[in-house]
Structure 1
């Protein structure tokens, strides 16, 4: 995934993404490197250049929270990226592994199955689909496999047509993987997904190098199903109690709207074999 350290790679990527005018510094002539210089970040953070260089090179272990906050402010990181920075700055002994079992509780499965009009599925840290109800499976029936959202976005031909705002979906997908990786950089499953998609998709590889961080929250999506057409949905993601490395994702449609009618049409498709 990388030859550097997680902390150093993140600092370097975020530093290179900034221009001097982004942080109120003048630009003098042509620069040999993209973004800010290490010395400029050190000055803005109030630390010595040597100390900051050691941070990027992985030679400074266990930086204090105060130093990380100062560096985050210098790099214009938002709250989520700052939290990611603090997690990467922990020593190995203070980090808790978060692989999880990948098993979904029977109670959650029963709950999802009871939502006949609402697509719902459970994701693992590497965006693996651990479980899904019938309507969620019908919604994603145009894909080769409904198994991993990252693979579906970047490696499945159906992804480009299903996600009508593909660029947005791609950025979000990679940023979510980065957020999960920040909690557990030693996760073999996340490494497997990242290595596989980096080798097969230049777009994924380029986005992964940006080190953007974003967890699933609540927003809208514009999808297109091959059978029922365009869908404008809202979704929410919830951490599963008892399995903090799993997320329950629920799709919603405006009541009495076209998307609600499309969901109903998909539900009828699901129940066709039983009806027959």
Structure 2
């Protein structure tokens, strides 16, 4: 049986060298990084208590203990929140699912209208499990959401499988075109897995997410390797370097904004400085999109 909490804690202590926390590093060590007894000592808890925590039997751990363990393991804010989610997992049904775990995520009409009004930038709504729930015309022209398996329409959904919306994780790891589309595919892959790890910690009882992770693990060696690292990250902002088949290289920044009233949805917006080569190419794509040419010519995904 998988012990996600134990695997996460072991992966975090394995990355810390003893000398980094003032412990001697000489002598033969059977484990990489800190030993369990060393973490317990530095956190001020008994070895038995910490061992039980790694075994997934620390459900009664206090905030003070978890804060101490997070400090010793040098967890950032997202990792510390992930630790709490693993220790005290939510048992509520995952948002965006029915009793059978099928996707049922809805984008408000006002959010769809906002996407349509954002005519100068690519934008889309990301939901649970990295499903793309809606997009605007430029978002489709850059990312080709409507051309993925199952079809779809701008700001209207589409499918990444026979019965679901386009999924960014499935696209990144299972679509060969993704390695050409993302000029920094390795960075995109790592970011994708880290975001899914966080989602899994927040929604441990989500069967649809478990199915997705299982599919990706079976079909992608790269996904299996990254999933085993137990890295967790929020999707906030960054850089996205794209290679478009019609206009060439596009250098985007991106900003991710929460959708008020829809806590499991994020509005992702690609940005480019005014007058930059990317902005000029976006204007060209926008003119083609307005004439209907981009939707026919773009086969990107």
TM-score, structure 1 normalization? 0.91
1:109: which partner in 2?
Answer: 112
Query: Does structure 1 residue 198 correspond to structure 2 residue 194?
Result: no
Cα RMSD of the aligned pairs, angstroms, is 2.1
Q: Secondary structure at the match of 1:233?
A: strand
1:88: which partner in 2?
Answer: 86
1:91 deviation in Å? 5.4
Of 57, 60, 71, the residue aligned with 2:58 is: 60
1:99: which partner in 2?
Answer: 95
1:251: which partner in 2?
Answer: 270
- CA displacement 1:20-54 (0-9 Å, x = unmatched): 23333222233222322111111111111111000
- Contact between 2:89 and 2:201, CA under 8 Å: does it hold in 1? no
Of 165, 170, 177, the residue aligned with 2:184 is: 165
Question: What is the correspondence of 1:216-227 to structure 2 with a 5 Å cutoff?
Answer: 216-227=235-246
Of 104, 125, 129, the residue aligned with 2:128 is: 125
Structure 2: state its 5+ residue gaps. Answer: 97-103, 150-159, 161-165, 295-301
Give the whole-Å Cα distance in 2 for the aligned partners of 1:19 and 1:220. 31
Give the whole-Å Cα distance in 1 for the aligned partners of 2:241 and 2:29. 41
1:264: which partner in 2?
Answer: 283
TM-score, structure 2 normalization? 0.84
Question: What is the correspondence of 1:19-58 to structure 2 with a 5 Å cutoff?
Answer: 19-58=17-56
Give the whole-Å Cα distance in 1 for the aligned partners of 2:13 and 2:70. 10
Distance 1:242 1:252, change over 3 A: same
Question: What is the correspondence of 1:64-83 to structure 2 with a 5 Å cutoff?
Answer: 64-83=62-81
1:18 deviation in Å? 2.5
Give the whole-Å Cα distance in 1 for the aligned partners of 2:70 and 2:93. 24
Structure 1: state its 5+ residue gaps. Answer: none
1:60 deviation in Å? 2.6
Which structure 1 residue ranges, 4+ long, deviate > 6 Å from structure 2?
none
2:299: which partner in 1?
Answer: none
